Structure 1
Amino acid sequence: MPQLSVIVYGPNAQGHLTELLDSVEAHPLLDAEIIVAAVGDWARETAEGHAPETIVVPLPEGTGDAAARAAGAARASGRWLHFVHAKDGLPAGAPRQLAERTAELDAEPGAPVDVLLFDHVVTTWQTAARASRDGRLLAAVGREGLPLNEAADLLRLTPILGNRALRADFWRAHEEQLTADDEPQAAHATLLHAGRVACLNQAAYENRELRPESLPPLDPEDRFALIDRYESLLPLARDRRATRAVLYDLMMRDLVRTFAGENLPDAVAREFFRRASLVAVRWRPENHERPAGVEGVRHALLEEGAYTKYRAFQAANRTRRAAKKAVKSRKKELGAKLRDQQYQRALSRPVNPHLAVFAAYWERGVACNPAAIAAKTAELAPHIHPVWVVSKSNEALLPPGTDYVIPGTRRYWETLATAKYLVNNVNFPNAVVKRPDAIHLQTHHGTPLKRMGLDQMEHPAAAKGLDFDALLGRIDKWDYSVSANSHSTRMWERAYPARFTSLDYGYPRNDVFYTATADDVRAARRRLGIAPGKKAVLYAPTHRDYEAGFTPRLDLAELADRLGEDTVLLVRAHYFYGGAASPLTGLRRSGRIIDVSSYDPVEELCLAADALVTDYSSIMFDYANLDRPIVVYADDWETYRTTRGVYFDLMEEHPGQVARTQEELTEIFVSGAWQGESAAKARAAFRRRFCEYDDGRAAERVVRRVFLGEPEESLPPVLPIEDRTPAPTPEEASA
């Protein structure tokens, strides 16, 4: 019996079935079966032309989606079912993720989980995969199975069947109630009938939205089906207060949006409004509060059945919005004009040769390579006055005595206009003018594994919201680009094609990995509360562009338990602890798990850690300077590689050991493989490639070249890697 049955159903809409089956065959999984409930000859022929192990269930042209799903499920032998429409897609490795997660759920004691919910990406006829809005909600609920009424907001997830897997026994017990051609109705019904649900905040589905103009037109009367949907669903939530309240809110939202957004004939609009009013009154929960503001007025008028009043309110509201928008635009225009005038006047002043502006991570404060350069400038070029750009929210975190400006203020623009040096690890705003005698120094903030700059154009999930023309305008202002290794130099020149000069000097922020002493290591551990004799493992995962929020990819309580009392986990992420009852609570109180998500500088965390566990974060390239063990936890490598794009195969060119599951990760530590000969050999090769220029004197080279104007040949040469001595390990520091 396979763990998962992937049931592809429906006609070969616009030929998308071929690419769906191709993607599944590119990443075969032994513990999953593929069943195609093929509607029509084209879908049948397409399915039969693929892998011989694919089970094809031919269905007549015109078979509805509900009947096709049922026919596919009837042939399924898996413990869990995943319904995938033939127009949609599956990200690389998605069936493996679902098979592994559902197997975990099956192994858990207690009442079984009936429905597993997960994230998805959205593709339209105009755009490729972009993240959905569901990830943050999935992450907030966590991974623990629970009744729907304890997490009723899960009803707000996109109502498609593709973003949920169903336990086969659950499907068979409720098949009649879950069968509907209206997919949102069927999707909601799965949750309303489920005993327990669980979440996986990973994208395991691609929902392809077809161009409406390419689909058969809807009759105006088809809008009444929306009312019928909720009339069938609300009785299922009658005795569950929280669930009923959320479902009612969703109904009211959909009714109001449909009425307001559809250009319905007047007779149909009046009948829709009348029916919607009746169902709104009939199912309104006791003591239910309407939304505030305009939305609440809409709800009240709908419940009242006041069609004429509603139309008058719509007209008045449109007029009010138009007037408000005009006033807002005028204020914005006047403010921008005033700031532009101030900036232009400042640009007419001479450049101050002793003024330098520093910024890091979008005005976060004193950090990263700019901070290391500023510190070395104070030592070697004290005539340079540094001014930091910091957002209002981070102002209080600045070191005492720091001179700074707040973005958008008059002094901010005057300082940017007259500074000789502008140093940033990201980019300054588009409006900043590149003066001929000013110097822009781009320091970057990591070695690129993932695609950057123009290379993101092929990966829409990563490129979402990017204006590439504006990006080109920003990089054309760079005079210098700092690099830690020749790989980065080549990738920066490819991703950011401009006339800047590459400074192959190393990352200044990494100097501390060669200058720190045993006292520094001990002090870092004391500040973090790591008891003497304890082994500290830093867990620092990266962000996924296809997910919203942080995904708790590891069961930290279980990992801490397996690693034992002598190991402390430093967690560099916003982890959802799950309240006082969580097993993590006691581990945090005892100091075995320390949340270092907001701890700066990150270099100090690296000095304190005996080993690093990460996934695709650039921290691995920096930490490798310390020549300490690194373990890569790559549970979703295929998805990350496909959606974000990468410059090399980390599975082949890794810095030590690689784990694809939590059990593999645990075994690497329990067995000692994390610090074994094989890991050391891989780490040595990784260090030679990616720590090429980091030797402890990167900041000095940058300051001497950029701020003091010294020639390249007079700078301190890069020390060969075999001649470098990293900071002492915690074990060495405690000796």
Structure 2
Amino acid sequence: MPRFSIIVPVFKVQGFLRECLDSVLEQSYADLEVIAVDDCSPDGCGAILDEYAARDPRVRVLHLPRNVGLGRARNAGMPYAEGEFLFFLDSDDTLTPGALRAIADRLDETADPDVLVFDYARTYWWGGTRRNVLAHLLSEAGDGTFSAAGHPEILELLMVVWNKVYRREFVEREGFTFPPGYYEDTPWTFPVMLSAGRIATLDRICLNYRQRRQGNILSTTSRKHFDIHDQYQRVFAFVDSRPELARWRPYLHRKMGEHCLDILAKPDRLPACDKGEFFARTAALFREHRDGPVPPELRALLGGYARYRARRQAARAGGELVRRGQQARSAAVTRIKRGWSTAHELRPLDPELAVYSAFSHRGVLGDPGAVHRAARELAPHIRAVWVVRADQVALLPPGVEHVTPDSLDYRRVTARATYFVNNVNWPGSLVKREGSVHIHTHQGTPLKYMGADLLGKPGARHGFDVPQMLRRADRWDYSLVANRHSELAWDRAYPCHFTSLRTGSPRNDVLVRARPGDGLPVRARLGIPAGHRVVLYAPTRRDYVRGGHLDRVDLARFAEDLGEGHTLVVRLHPSLADGPARGAGLSELHRRGVVVDATDEPHVEELMLASDVLVTDYSALLFDYANLDRPIVVHADDWGAYAASRGAYFDITADSPGHVARSYRELARLFASGAWQDAESARLRAGFRARFCAFDDGRAAERVVRTLMLGERVEGPTPVVQVPAQAEHDVLTSS
């Protein structure tokens, strides 16, 4: 008996069908059967299904003699299912890699519940991806099982059939089937969820819900939308047949009203001539099943269609007035702020005021944070003010003075500050006054193209205004560099009037000065067992993939292959922290203790100190990590695509800080054999350190403060070796 019976109804999806089937049959978890139901599709779907069935015994195909619709096609497949759990997959959607393994593990963990609800992401025809906005409800449901009565919020999730798996014995015992017509998921999902005694959740994106350019069948203009009334009648009939479910009638009454009004409000759902009739049927159904007070937003259903239309038009007119008022207020606020800035710009600069920001106002972080800490010790008379987003203020260390972006206080301090320290550009509205000192720290040593070099890489600069960025960079007075390579790259990427300062990277001071045991507090906070070898995996984003995220490593497999005594710590690129990348498996693996998700750790330097080896692809983190003189493994299985799309100043696979793995198999072999820390790894790292850690001596932050804030003459760092001429040639001639 297979674990999963995946029922796939198929109709006019020949362009998507192979991708759907491949996403199932190529899953790492193979204990499954596919029951594909050809709903008399007039295109090539039937032949495609037969082709897959001929080469994979797990696929069974049913060819229906006539088209019966989505719900009845699912019904046709159910009697053939032999699996423990039913999974209804639409034939234009796809499973994410590792989805079935994650679902199976969660079913084992919760002792086979009646229903398991998992997460999904909408994938748009133009390439965008957006995670379910209510995904938080899955994690908030807890680790165990529950009923809808115990956690009613679960019913706020999209009421569809395909974001769940169902214990077949439960479905057969209750006799659940799909009705004909549109909105067939409604009279399936509500009865199933209300009847299930044990529901579990999985906070992981297991399915990509394809959003076609012309929408799905429910977005077409048709009288078939009238089917919604019959579907809710079926829901109420089911509840009436189960006295123990009577408490749900008010809830279902409200959901029915909201659902029908939502259909009516859509401009492209119903023919204009049918809207009055649809409203009348909805109102009649609403009155028939009324059970208790009517919410204010649904009282329109107690009147006629003319009154409903009048209220809609009044609401639209009111909304337009509100919008115009908001625009007027916004313009007035802008004028006030501009005047406030101008007034303060008439006053002299404050020689003892410094303004800091890092990573687009995310807090006391990175190089600016290191300079700030050094300034508090060496130049305490210089007042430090940080620009921090409102949602990050609570995370600031005690005693840090701050302003929020574009506030009046922000305008005041930026109008009068002498020193500006940032690792990204300040907004264009900030005026550089004569006598002010702008210090740009960058965000590490560049491997990928930056600045003006992106002009030749249209894909990488998509949505990025290079001329505007250079105008903002014109305000820089000093550019901090950690090596000769960076100096050459920044001079080329930012053709502006600044002075390169060979200070080293301030944030790397803690790495250069690292002592045994410095990482122990971080390990303890992350829950890493004592004595474990810590592997830090830090992939970067991809410019050739919309959204930037691409799964290059199966994290569960990597953690398993590392074996006992190892902990895999994962840190995604900061730009991916709030996207769907973590929901595609990382968050669930962290919850189960398979890996440690350290993406939200604010100080990456602490993670580096806590680790024994770095595995990365093309992240600038590898330049910083080299200061620890610990092993680095470069996973470069898509170097060609990455370099072609983004551009690179040199070939990291040829001038690597350690062994290079060009496939997962090679990566696993390096760790299984111990080669990741052999003599060759040490030799490669020594050469890399000589080239890219030349100016990092542990005194970078002090050097910045003494030189640029206190005006002292400070001896600069002495490079360990001269930078090879060929290395300079690489930067100056790469294209």
Distance 1:215 1:521, change over 3 A: closer
* Native 8 Å contact 2:440 2:480 kept in 1: yes
Contact 1:37–1:68 (CA under 8 A) maintained in structure 2? yes
- Measured after TM superposition, the shift of residue 102 of structure 1 is 3.3
Displacement of 1:336 in angstroms is 0.9
2:716 is matched with which residue?
Answer: 715
> Partners of 1:136 and 1:142 in 2: how far apart?
11
Deviations 1:292-315 (A, max 9, x none): xxxx4331232x345444344333
Whether contact under 8 Å (2:28, 2:101) holds in the other structure is: no
Code of the aligned partner of 1:228: D
CA separation of 1:326 and 1:228: change in aligned 2, threshold 3 A: same
Structure 2 residue 297 is the aligned partner of structure 1 residue 298: yes
Unmatched 5+ residue regions in structure 2? Answer: 579-589, 722-735
Distance in 1, matches of 2:450 and 2:245, equals: 48
Q: How does 1:159-170 map to 2 (within 5 A)?
A: 159-170=159-170
Is contact 2:120–2:208 with CA below 8 Å preserved after alignment?
Answer: yes
1:251 alignment counterpart: 256
> Are 1:9 and 1:69, in contact at CA under 8 Å, matched by a contact in 2?
yes
- The unaligned stretches of length 5 or more in structure 1 are 291-295, 575-583, 662-667, 721-735
Q: Is the 8 A contact 1:256 1:298 kept in 2?
A: no
The equivalences for 1:44-63 within 5 A come to 44-47=46-49, 52-54=54-56, 55=59, 56-59=61-64, 62-63=67-68
C-alpha spacing 1:28/1:596, structure 2 compared with 1 (3 Å):
closer
Corresponding residue of 1:120: 121
SS in 2 for 1:177: coil
1:337 paired residue number: 335
Q: 1:374 aligns with which of 362, 372, 375?
A: 372
Structure 1: how far apart are the matches of 2:261 and 2:508? 56
SS of equivalent residue, structure 1 residue 226: helix
Cα distance in 1, alignment partners of residues 207 and 689 from structure 2: 32
Instruction: Tell me how far 1:687 sits from its aligned partner.
Output: 9.2
Report the CA distance shift for 1:282/1:622 in structure 2 as closer, same or farther (over 3 A): farther
Q: CA deviation at 1:335?
A: 0.8
From 459, 464, 471, the counterpart of 1:468: 464
SS in 2 for 1:198: strand
Opposite residue 148 of structure 1, the aligned amino acid is: A
Structure 2 residue 236 is the aligned partner of structure 1 residue 207: no
Shift in CA distance, 256/216, structure 1 to aligned 2, threshold 3 Å: closer
Change (3 A) 1:233 1:387: same
Describe how 1:657-672 pairs up with structure 2 within 5 A: none
Residue 483 of structure 1 and its aligned partner are, at CA, apart by: 7.0
Indicate conservation of the 8 Å contact 1:536/1:570, yes or no: no
- Asked whether the 8 Å contact 2:344–2:415 carries over to 1, the reply is yes
Structure 1 counterpart SS, 2:414: helix
Determine the C-alpha separation between the residues in 2 that align with 1:493 and 1:134: 46
1:536·1:609 contact (CA, 8 Å) conserved in 2?
yes
My pick for the range that moved more, 147-156 or 350-359, is 350-359
The answer to whether the 8 Å contact 2:616/2:622 transfers is yes
Q: Does 1:477 align with 2:469?
A: no
- C-alpha displacement of 1:699: 3.2
Matched-pair contact (CA < 8 Å) for 2:123–2:129: yes
Partner of 1:579: none
Once residues 614 and 119 of structure 1 are traced to their aligned partners in structure 2, the CA distance between those partners, rounded to angstroms, is 28
Aligned partners of 1:542 and 1:617 also within 8 Å: yes
1:730 maps to which residue? none
Match of 2:227 in 1: 225
CA distance in 1, matches of 2:471, 2:130: 28
With 21-30 and 614-623 compared, the bigger mean Cα shift is at 614-623
Deviation at 1:184, TM superposition (A): 5.7
Distance 1:602 1:213, change over 3 A: closer
Distance 1:108 1:609 in 2: 30
For residue 280 of structure 2, the aligned residue among 261, 266, 274 is 274
Contact 2:657 2:688 in 1 (8 A): no
Structure 2 residue aligned with 1:390: 388
Q: 1:322 & 1:6 partners in 2: Cα distance?
A: 48
1:98 is matched with 99
C-alpha distance in 1, partners of 2:623/2:687? 11
Aligned pairs (5 A) from 1:557-568: none
Report what 2:581 is aligned to.
none
Deviation, 1:216, is 9.3
| Pairing 1:137–2:145 present | no
- Alpha-carbon contact 2:119-2:204 (below 8 Å) kept: yes
User: What's the CA shift string for 1:213-232, capped at 9, x where partnerless?
Assistant: 9999533x433222222222
Given candidates 65, 69, 72, the residue that maps to 2:70 is 65
Q: Percent identity?
A: 28
Over the aligned positions, Cα root-mean-square deviation in angstroms equals: 6.2
| Contact residue 5 and residue 85 of structure 2 kept, 8 A | yes
| CA apart distance, 1:412 | 1.7
Q: Distance in 1 between matches of 2:504 and 2:624?
A: 10
Give the AA of the match of 2:130.
Answer: R
State the number of aligned residues: 659
CA distance in 1, matches of 2:29, 2:112: 27
The range that moved more, 104-113 or 505-514, is: 104-113
Contact kept? 2:120, 2:163, Cα under 8 Å: yes
| Secondary structure in structure 2 of the residue aligned to 1:202 | strand
Which residue identity lines up with residue 209 of structure 2 in the other structure? Answer: E
Pair 610,497 (structure 1): closer, same or farther in 2 beyond 3 Å: closer
Corresponding residue for 1:327?
A: 325
User: Any conservation in 2 of the 1:102–1:116 contact (CA below 8 Å)?
Assistant: no
Alpha-carbon shift at residue 372 of structure 1 (Å): 0.5
SS of residue paired to 1:150: coil
Q: Matched residues in 2 for 1:37 and 1:532: separation? A: 50
Q: Given that residues 485 and 690 in structure 1 are in contact (C-alpha distance below 8 angstroms), is that contact kept between their aligned partners in structure 2?
A: no
For residue 513 of structure 1, the aligned residue among 508, 511, 528 is 511
Q: 1:594-647 deviations in whole A, cap 9, x for unaligned? A: 9999987564576567899999998888667556799999xxx99xx99xx999
**SS across alignment from 1:207:** strand
| 1:466-485 superposed Cα distances (whole Å, 9 cap, x missing partner) | 9534x763465234766778
Deviates more, 1:346-355 or 1:42-51: 346-355
